[in-house]
């Protein structure tokens, strides 16, 4: 019996490694090999041309600069917000938490539209201000500025940081804070000496994710920044798609991966130093009682609502407002094949496809991500492999989607793995982005579990599965739910390389939106907005369901 | 424990159903790799399938540049049997990589001779479209502005802050417009295309990232929030801005000489396919009257075959430039990087 468990464990370890080896390392190695090897000779001239070009240096500096700023502002705004969500009860708390994740799934073009409707020269805010103060020119002018890039980066990533930190914080013991309060710590000391150090694992994890996402930012920088701003990812895209200059593209891609790897190594070291375990007496949220507390809670909710929900609201209004009156015309048009086109997609079909891919992605990512977290946390097999794998698990997020897309096409071209044009590649591509997310989300919670707990259970004769099911799963469930939510969102938003591989006609909601936006005429535009709103609704519904999953199934004890 | 197992079962069941939903319409036979804008009427394609017994699977691989790259990278072991949607700005790259099997359709004789070149040994022209500036008719009327009739006029003070163009590095109409300016002003001399662009930029021309962004975000006739009444778009866009009640189009194209760039789209049979005969039949089908007449309303382009009757909407509202800019594909492939690089430096400065 013991032997089965032991070998079973090794089997479980091999599973995620096989997945990443096959669908990440192999394609990426293939495309790099193809790019650098010209006529059988290894040619690294791509690096030389980059090293000597001031243009690429500027691009690199700007990429790091905007990612650092974006991360800083995101975390700064999220911390008080997270405090409110952890410590206070208020009506609509879990709904708001779910809704905060919505921006994550929206295509960039749609987000650009939403922001323009809100703060553009003729947007709601500017018109209101101009009326109010009798201004000649719109007071807010953000078109193609760094400020706009930063605002939208915070808009996209707020929920990532919020949910990771809230999940971790809720699992922290309230005893230390209570003790500090009894000993007379003031508010400042409370944050600096108690909360921030305690939260460091979650903050660093969130910051790393936000940093990676904004470092590799593509659409936001392209569309909202205009041509003055370009990230490495934009350069890689341009060198690949426009010029098919693979040596330079691959060199840039490799540089991006190496920089991200440095960030991850640093992060992994930090996390290991801090992994502390403690007995859990979770913080119980209470209602805001004094007016200061109410003000604090209200102020933070205001930020969430203004920053995250106003642009979404502007989008909804636009999709319903036609020629000065409310109408559902754009929504009904979605269901009509006006031009008798062979590629017409009934909205239900697109929704079904999106949800189907979402479910598959969530399944793969939750299984692989959890296993990966156990492997890295050295909880599954007591080896020292975890230490080496830890910094590597985020690599798919750091790899340019264009590079990976071409890698798929080149590497997976022979039976039995001729998946180049199969729909199977879509959930796989989504899972590559989603799995590290789940793993990163679960790891801090896993490390919080004191080893004495499962050990005690083992002494009492519990089987490994029973220990996992009754002790560990409940303790990581909160983080697992966050990971699953984002895995689903990543798939619904079509993240990653799936956009860059040729696919048979299994259109998802974002693809339908892109298609509609590629055609002139206000009806097409209106339908794209209507489809975006449907995408939001499907997401919200799914997020709420995922929350239910936790309450019903794993729950806390 | 029970609740969890049940939920897990439901979840696994859902995943299986999902696989079925997606797998059910896995088709067979002739595969066509094309760009995301590809479209055709249901009955037209169905008639072809019925007549020939060939099932057609459409594979979408992104924009024109992406599908060409994918085909170049997979030369010899192609993703599909036929590649449709490669245009004259990318043609040279594909021919250079030798990805096509030679084929000359017997219907080539019906094609307007302006679209034929040496390339027809390997690829067959199917449709064309002109990248032109579209303008907001109402705005020009209200402000009593004359519509510019040459590229040079666009730098005049009365057109300050009125035009939105696209980044040629990321947008295909953006590149087409850049090539038009290169052809008009040249690369050497007192006033080159770069001088022209720096004048355009000082005249507050906005550069957007993509066609969608320019048209639906910044163009006055495309978006309620737009503030630019001129946009680089297609000569075929105005028909889609016709108001059904008043029967007038809210936009028109400027088709004066030298202001439009002609994009021609081609189809080719990919080397390495085992279905040469079916592929040839498909190419012939694309030159057939049924398909050619179907093109305008489905893909917003014009048929290359002569004497195809245009749909009423197009005949009435789409203008075709008489003397568009035509540039040798080889020249474009050769200079693309250089032009875009110089353009970027000029516009950024």
Residue A460 is assigned to a structural domain of this protein: yes
| Spatial CA neighbour of A408 closest among A50, A22, A107 | A22
Give the confidence band of B26 by pLDDT, cuts at 50, 70, 90.
very low
Nearest chain A residue to B44 by CA: give it.
Answer: A342
Give the confidence band of B23 by pLDDT, cuts at 50, 70, 90.
low
Q: How far apart are CA A411 and CA A409, in angstroms?
A: 6
Instruction: Select the residue of A243, A339, A409 nearest B74 (Cβ to Cβ).
Output: A409
Decide if A548 touches B, using CB distance below 8 A: no
Q: How far apart are CA B145 and CA B139, in angstroms?
A: 8
pLDDT the model gives residue A417: 81
**CATH number of the structural domain spanning residue A185:** 1.10.3720.10
Strand bridging mode B123-136 / B251-254: antiparallel
pLDDT at B74 over 80: yes
Residue A3 is assigned to a structural domain of this protein: no
A499 contact residues in B (CB cutoff 8 A): 62
pLDDT the model gives residue B156: 96
Domain edges within chain B: 26-128+263-317, 130-261+322-348
pLDDT the model gives residue B305: 96
Give the confidence band of B56 by pLDDT, cuts at 50, 70, 90.
very high
pLDDT the model gives residue A442: 87
Partnered with residue B267 across adjacent β-strands are B84, B124
Low-confidence ranges of chain A (pLDDT < 50): 553-557
Q: Are B303 and B236 in contact (CB under 8 A)?
A: no
DSSP H helices, A183-245, are 187-189, 196-215, 219, 225, 232-237
Give the confidence band of B153 by pLDDT, cuts at 50, 70, 90.
very high
Q: How far apart are CA B132 and CA B173, in angstroms?
A: 9
Residue A4 is assigned to a structural domain of this protein: no
Q: Which 8-state DSSP code applies to residue A504?
A: E
- For B26-128+263-317, give the CATH class: alpha beta
| Spatial CA neighbour of A476 closest among A383, A394, A382, A371 | A371
Q: Do domains B26-128+263-317 and B130-261+322-348 have the same CATH topology?
A: yes
B223 contact residues in A (CB cutoff 8 A): 113, 116, 525
pLDDT the model gives residue B141: 95
Give the confidence band of B292 by pLDDT, cuts at 50, 70, 90.
very high
Q: Are B122 and B93 in contact (CB under 8 A)?
A: no
- Better pLDDT: B292 or A129: B292
A409 contact residues in B (CB cutoff 8 A): 70, 73-74, 79
Residue A5 is assigned to a structural domain of this protein: no
Decide if A497 touches B, using CB distance below 8 A: no
Q: What is the pLDDT of residues B91-123, one digit of tens each?
A: 998 999 999 999 999 999 999 999 998 888 999
B61 contact residues in A (CB cutoff 8 A): 501-503
pLDDT at B247 over 50: yes
Residue A45 tokens, joined? 């001239």
* Min Cα separation A201/chain B (Å): 29
CA distances in angstroms from A513 to A402, B9, B57, listed in the order given: 21, 33, 22
Q: Are B264 and B87 in contact (CB under 8 A)?
A: yes
Q: Are A496 and A434 in contact (CB under 8 A)?
A: no
A122 contact residues in B (CB cutoff 8 A): 224-227
Nearest chain A residue to B94 by CA: give it.
Answer: A244
Which residue matches tokens 């080893």?
A451
Instruction: Select the residue of A223, A340, A409 nearest B70 (Cβ to Cβ).
Output: A409
Interface A-B, measured as beta-carbon pairs within 8 A, has a size of 198
The answer to whether the Cβ–Cβ distance between A342 and B45 falls below 8 Å is: yes
A352 contact residues in B (CB cutoff 8 A): 21
* Stretch 21-60 of chain A: residues touching chain B, C-beta under 8 Å: 34
Residues in chain A: 557
Residue B336 tokens, joined? 């693309």
A342 contact residues in B (CB cutoff 8 A): 39-42, 44-46, 58
pLDDT at B28 over 90: no
pLDDT the model gives residue A282: 66
The answer to whether the Cβ–Cβ distance between B222 and A525 falls below 8 Å is: yes
Q: Are B197 and B90 in contact (CB under 8 A)?
A: no
Residue B330 tokens, joined? 């080889």
How many domains are there within chain A? 1
User: Which residues, 6 or more positions from B196, have their beta carbon under 8 angstroms from its beta carbon?
Assistant: B151, B152, B155, B181, B184, B185
The answer to whether the Cβ–Cβ distance between A410 and B222 falls below 8 Å is: no
* Stretch 381-410 of chain A: residues touching chain B, C-beta under 8 Å: 406, 409-410
Range in A48-52, A61-65, B168-172, B281-285 the model is least confident about: A48-52
pLDDT the model gives residue B172: 86
Most confident residue range from A50-64, B19-33, B46-60: B46-60
Q: What is the pLDDT of residues A468-522, one digit of tens each?
A: 888 888 888 888 888 898 899 889 988 777 777 877 778 889 888 888 887 777 8
Residue B303 φ/ψ, nearest 5 degrees: -70, 145
Q: What is the extent of the structural domain holding A176?
A: 15-278+296-554
Please state the three-class secondary structure of A150-179 as a single string: HHHHHHHHHHHHHHHHHHHHHCCECHHHHH
The answer to whether the Cβ–Cβ distance between A520 and B74 falls below 8 Å is: no
Neighbours of A496 (CB within 10 A): 23
Decide if A342 touches B, using CB distance below 8 A: yes
Helix (H, G, I), strand (E, B) or coil at A341: strand
- Matching CATH number, B130-261+322-348, of 1.10.287.1260, 3.40.1000.10, 1.50.10.10, 3.40.190.10: 3.40.190.10
- Tell whether omega for the bond before A416 is within 30 degrees of 0, i.e. cis: yes
Q: Are B332 and B179 in contact (CB under 8 A)?
A: yes
Give the confidence band of B136 by pLDDT, cuts at 50, 70, 90.
very high
Please state the three-class secondary structure of chain B as a single string: CHHHHHHHHHHHHHHHHHHHHHHCCCCCCCEEEECCCCCCEHHHHHHHHHHHCCCCEEEECCCHHHHHHHHHHCCCCCCCCEEEEEECCCHHHHHHHCCEECCCCHHHHHECHHHCCHHHHCEEEEEEEEEEEEEEHHHHHHCCCCCCCCCHHHHCHHHCCCEEEECCCCCHHHHHHHHHHHHHHCCCCCCCHHHHHHHHHHCCCEEECCHHHHHHHHECCCCCCCCECEEEEECCCHHHHEECCCCEECEEEECCCCCCEEEEEEEEEECCCCCHHHHHHHHHHHHCHHHHHHHHHHHCCEECECCCCCCHHHHHHCCCCCCCECCCHHHHHHHHHHHHHHHHHHHHC
The answer to whether the Cβ–Cβ distance between B217 and A340 falls below 8 Å is: no
Interface confidence (ipTM) of the complex: 0.80
Stated pTM of the model: 0.85
Residue B78 tokens, joined? 């192609």
């Amino acid at each position: 019996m013991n032997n089965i468990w032991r070998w079973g464990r090794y089997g479980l370890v091999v599973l995620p490694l096989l997945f990443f080896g096959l669908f990440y390392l192999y394609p990426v190695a293939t495309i790099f090999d193809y790019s650098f090897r010209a006529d059988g000779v290894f040619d690294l001239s791509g690096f030389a041309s980059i090293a000597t070009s001031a243009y690429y240096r500027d691009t690199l500096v700007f990429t790091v600069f905007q990612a650092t700023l974006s991360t800083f502002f995101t975390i700064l705004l999220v911390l008080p917000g997270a405090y409110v969500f952890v410590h206070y009860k208020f009506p609509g708390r879990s709904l708001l938490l779910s809704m905060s994740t919505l921006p994550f799934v929206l295509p960039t073009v749609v987000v650009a539209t939403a922001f323009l409707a809100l703060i553009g020269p003729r947007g709601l805010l500017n018109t209101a201000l101009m009326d109010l103060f009798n201004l000649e020119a719109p007071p807010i002018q953000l078109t193609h500025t760094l400020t706009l890039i930063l605002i939208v980066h915070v808009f996209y990533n707020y929920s990532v940081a919020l949910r990771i930190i809230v999940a971790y914080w809720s699992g922290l013991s309230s005893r230390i804070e209570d003790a500090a309060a009894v000993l007379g710590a003031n508010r400042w000391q409370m944050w600096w000496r108690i909360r921030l150090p305690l939260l460091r694992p979650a903050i660093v994890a969130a910051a790393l994710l936000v940093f990676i996402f904004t470092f590799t930012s593509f659409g936001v920088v392209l569309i909202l920044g205009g041509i003055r701003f370009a990230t490495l990812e934009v350069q890689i895209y341009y060198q690949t798609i426009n010029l098919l200059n693979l040596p330079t593209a691959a060199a840039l891609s490799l540089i991006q991966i190496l920089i991200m790897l440095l960030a991850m190594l640093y992060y992994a070291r930090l996390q290991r130093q801090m992994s502390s375990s403690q007995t859990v007496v979770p913080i119980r949220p209470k209602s805001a009682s004094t007016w200061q507390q109410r003000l604090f809670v209200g102020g933070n909710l205001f930020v969430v609502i203004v920053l995250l929900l106003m642009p979404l609201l502007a989008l909804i209004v636009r999709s319903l407002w036609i020629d000065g009156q409310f109408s559902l015309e754009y929504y009904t048009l979605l269901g009509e094949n006006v031009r008798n086109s062979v590629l017409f997609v009934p909205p239900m079909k697109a929704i079904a496809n999106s949800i189907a891919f979402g479910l598959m992605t969530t399944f793969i990512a939750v299984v692989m991500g959890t296993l990966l977290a156990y492997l890295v946390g050295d909880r599954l097999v007591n080896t020292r492999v975890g230490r080496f794998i830890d910094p590597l698990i985020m690599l798919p997020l750091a790899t340019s989607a264009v590079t990976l897309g071409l890698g798929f096409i080149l590497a997976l071209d022979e039976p039995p793995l001729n998946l180049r044009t199969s729909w199977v590649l879509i959930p796989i591509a989504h899972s590559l982005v989603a799995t590290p997310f789940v793993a990163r989300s679960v790891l801090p919670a896993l490390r919080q579990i004191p080893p004495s707990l499962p050990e005690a259970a083992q002494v009492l004769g519990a089987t490994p599965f029973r220990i996992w099911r009754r002790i560990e799963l409940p303790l990581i469930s909160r983080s697992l739910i966050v990971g699953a939510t984002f895995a689903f969102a990543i798939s619904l938003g079509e993240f990653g390389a799936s956009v860059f591989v040729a696919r048979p006609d299994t259109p998802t909601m974002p693809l339908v939106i892109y298609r509609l936006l590629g055609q002139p005429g206000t009806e097409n535009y209106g339908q794209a907005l209507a489809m975006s709103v449907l995408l939001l609704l499907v997401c919200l519904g799914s997020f709420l369901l995922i929350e239910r999953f936790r309450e019903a199934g794993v729950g806390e004890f | 424990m029970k609740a969890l197992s049940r939920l897990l079962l439901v979840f696994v069941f859902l995943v299986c159903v999902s696989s079925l939903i997606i797998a059910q319409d896995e088709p067979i036979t002739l595969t066509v790799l094309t760009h995301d804008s590809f479209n055709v009427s249901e009955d037209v394609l169905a008639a072809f399938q019925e007549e020939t017994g060939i099932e057609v699977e459409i594979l979408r691989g992104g924009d024109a540049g992406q599908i060409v790259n994918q085909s170049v990278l997979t030369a010899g072991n192609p993703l599909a049997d036929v590649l449709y949607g490669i245009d004259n700005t990318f043609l040279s790259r594909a021919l250079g990589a030798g990805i096509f099997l030679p084929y000359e359709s017997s219907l080539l004789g019906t094609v307007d001779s302006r679209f034929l070149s040496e390339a027809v040994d390997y690829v067959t022209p199917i449709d064309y479209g002109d990248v032109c500036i579209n303008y907001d008719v109402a705005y020009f009327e209200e402000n009593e502005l004359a519509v510019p009739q040459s590229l040079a006029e666009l730098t005049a003070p009365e057109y300050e802050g009125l035009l939105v163009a696209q980044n040629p590095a990321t947008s295909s109409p953006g590149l087409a417009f850049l090539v038009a300016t290169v052809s008009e002003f040249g690369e050497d001399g007192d006033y080159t295309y770069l001088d022209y662009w720096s004048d355009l930029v000082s005249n507050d021309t906005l550069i957007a990232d993509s066609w969608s962004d320019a048209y639906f975000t910044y163009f006055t006739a495309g978006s309620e929030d737009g503030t630019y009444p001129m946009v680089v778009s297609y000569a075929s866009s105005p028909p889609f801005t016709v108001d059904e009640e008043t029967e007038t189009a809210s936009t028109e194209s400027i088709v004066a000489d030298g202001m439009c760039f002609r994009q021609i789209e081609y189809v080719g049979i990919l080397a390495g396919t085992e279905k040469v005969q079916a592929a040839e039949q498909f190419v012939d089908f694309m030159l057939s009257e049924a398909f050619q007449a179907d093109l305008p309303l489905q893909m917003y382009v014009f048929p290359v075959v002569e004497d195809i009757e245009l749909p009423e909407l197009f005949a009435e509202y789409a203008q075709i430039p008489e003397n568009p800019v035509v540039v040798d594909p080889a020249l474009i492939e050769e200079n693309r990087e250089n032009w875009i690089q110089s353009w970027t430096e000029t516009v950024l400065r």
